[in-house]
């Protein structure tokens, strides 16, 4: 069996995830493709993740791709999580993950409507969707609040989980909008406020053409193995959210090679991807919460010392802002009271690494400017540093 050690895995991160200066990209689309997709649950993450990997970072380049060229799109997909990806990747992610997620979202909403007991059903929902799409088609774009003002049915209140401990009364607007977005019939447009805002406007879009989900899963697995391999079956299953059968079938179709990892686990690599990669120059990075380089594996032992986890992850397993050196997570960062990046090293990395980290912090600070960023999922170290 081939062996790929942890050092090689970290070199691959630096090069394939475009984090070493010599590997950085000039295109936001190239960044997204390099890691398959960027996490987008937190609006700022897309910008921070992309700009960490760009030769010329800036808000304008990301906004151009998202809202002018629409060369990047958002899909509710892997693990029922919002991701941003290129238009080349979106159709296979849609077929392999997003269609099933959309069906579950619709069924969940219909269940809540029926349980409310006021006669709300599929026909009612279809009519509300029709009215919402008509308003968007007429206006071009609108926020959720503006849509609710224009479509009275969106102001309907329902009782969710009636008779149970978690019973609550909720409006349907956000749920209807979520279903329409999951179906690909509307998409997020420019937010109100700055690039860090999650109060998006919405605009009409067209669903992706239907394609074979089996072949789509094979293509997603291929792209993922190139970006994250060597990696285990469990890593792929976790990242995609597929069942074990779907994961194994997608891997089998690729005929990957086995590789023994330093942990003793057996990883998989694409058949033409076994050669050692040459070393990189020393590099540092400041990556945001939920960045794909930290969230790409279920087992992160090759990049994350175990005693760092409690400071850098929340209780749900979401990673916060991290400091990297040569493929390892060595600390965390936050914005200080004045907006400047502040960080704490949890590993002793030496003077050269500390200088590289400071240089990278200055590079990030230059393009962020006066923006203030608070991660949606806050971790112990981020809270402490931001205070």
Sequential DSSP letters for 151-190: -GGGG-EEEESTTSTT-EEEESHHHHHHHHHHTTSEEEEE
**Model confidence at 217, in pLDDT bands (50, 70, 90)?**
very high
- Give the pLDDT confidence of 294-338 residue by residue, as tens digits: 999 999 999 999 999 999 999 899 999 999 999 999 999 999 988
Sign of the four-CA dihedral 247, 248, 251, 252: negative
Instruction: Determine the pLDDT at residue 250.
Output: 98
- Which position has the token pair 């906004």? 63
Which residue(s) pair with 258 in the sheet?
268
Q: What domains sit in the chain, N to C, each tagged with a CATH number?
A: 97-204 (1.10.10), 284-386 (no CATH)
Can you give the pLDDT at residue 242?
A: 97
Q: How confident is the model at residue 150 (pLDDT cuts 50, 70, 90)?
A: very high
* 270, pLDDT greater than 90: yes
Residue 167 in this model has a pLDDT that exceeds 90: no
Region 222-238: mean pLDDT is 97
Model pLDDT, residue 349: 94
**Token couple for 85:** 């990806």
In angstroms, rounded to a whole number, what is the distance separating the alpha carbons of residues 379 and 387?
12
Question: What is the Cα Rg of the chain in Å?
Answer: 22
pLDDT band at 1 (very low <50, low <70, confident <90, very high): confident
Cβ-count burial 193-217 (b if 16+ within 10 Å, e if not): eebbeeebbbbbbeebeeeebeebb
First CA to last CA distance, the chain? 50
Residue 174: the pLDDT is 94
> 258 phi and psi, to 5 degrees?
-80, 145
Tokens read off for 242: 């597929």
Q: How many CA within 13 A on the CB side of residue 301?
A: 10
pLDDT band at 13 (very low <50, low <70, confident <90, very high): very high
Q: How many other CB atoms are found less than 10 A from the CB of residue 246?
A: 18
- Output the average pLDDT for the chain: 96
pLDDT digits (tens, 9 = 90+) for 342-353: 999 999 999 999
- Residue 117, pLDDT score: 82
Question: What pLDDT was estimated at residue 348?
Answer: 94
Give the Cα separation of 366 and 126 in Å (integer). 48
Residue 193's pLDDT is 87
pLDDT band at 162 (very low <50, low <70, confident <90, very high): confident
What pLDDT, on a 0 to 100 scale, did the predictor assign at position 337? 84
pLDDT tens digits, one per residue of 29-79: 999 999 999 999 999 999 999 999 999 999 999 999 999 999 999 999 999
> Which one has a higher pLDDT value, 115 or 62?
62
Quick one: pLDDT at residue 352?
A: 93
Residue 263 token pair: 């942990």
Query: Helices 233-240 and 244-254, interaxial angle, to 10°?
Result: 120
């Amino acid at each position: 069996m081939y062996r790929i050690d942890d050092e090689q895995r970290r070199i691959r991160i630096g090069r394939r995830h475009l984090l070493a200066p010599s590997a950085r990209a000039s295109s936001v689309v190239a960044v997204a493709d390099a890691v398959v997709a960027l996490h987008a649950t937190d609006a700022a993450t897309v910008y921070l993740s992309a700009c960490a990997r760009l030769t010329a970072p800036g808000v304008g380049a990301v906004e151009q791709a998202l809202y002018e060229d629409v060369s990047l799109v958002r899909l509710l997909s892997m693990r029922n999580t919002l991701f941003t990806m290129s238009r080349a990747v979106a159709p296979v992610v849609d077929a392999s993950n997003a269609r099933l997620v959309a069906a579950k979202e619709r069924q969940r909403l219909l269940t809540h409507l029926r349980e409310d007991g006021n006669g709300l059903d599929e026909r009612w929902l279809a009519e509300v969707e029709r009215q919402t799409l008509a308003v968007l088609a007429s206006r071009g774009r609108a926020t959720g609040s503006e849509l609710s003002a224009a479509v009275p049915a969106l102001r309907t209140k329902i009782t969710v989980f009636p008779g149970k401990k978690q019973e609550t009364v909720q409006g349907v607007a956000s749920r209807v909008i979520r279903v329409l977005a999951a179906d690909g019939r509307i998409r997020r447009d420019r937010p109100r406020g700055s690039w860090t805002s999650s109060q998006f406007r919405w605009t009409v879009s067209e669903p992706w053409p239907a394609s074979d989900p089996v072949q789509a899963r094979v293509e997603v697995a291929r792209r993922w193995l190139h970006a994250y391999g060597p990696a285990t079956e469990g890593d792929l299953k976790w990242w995609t959210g597929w069942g074990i059968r779907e994961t194994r079938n997608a891997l089998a179709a690729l005929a990957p090679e086995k590789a023994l990892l330093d942990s003793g686990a057996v990883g998989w690599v694409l058949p033409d991807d076994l050669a050692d990669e040459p070393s990189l120059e020393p590099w540092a990075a400041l990556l945001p919460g939920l960045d794909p380089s930290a969230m790409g594996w279920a087992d992160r032992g090759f990049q994350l010392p175990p005693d760092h986890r409690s400071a850098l992850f929340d209780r749900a397993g979401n990673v916060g802002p991290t400091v990297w050196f040569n493929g390892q997570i060595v600390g965390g960062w936050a914005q200080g009271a004045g907006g400047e990046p502040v960080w704490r090293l949890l590993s002793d990395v030496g003077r050269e690494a500390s200088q590289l980290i400071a240089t990278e912090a200055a590079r990030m600070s230059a393009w962020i400017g006066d923006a203030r960023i608070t991660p949606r999922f806050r971790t112990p170290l981020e809270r402490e540093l931001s205070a």
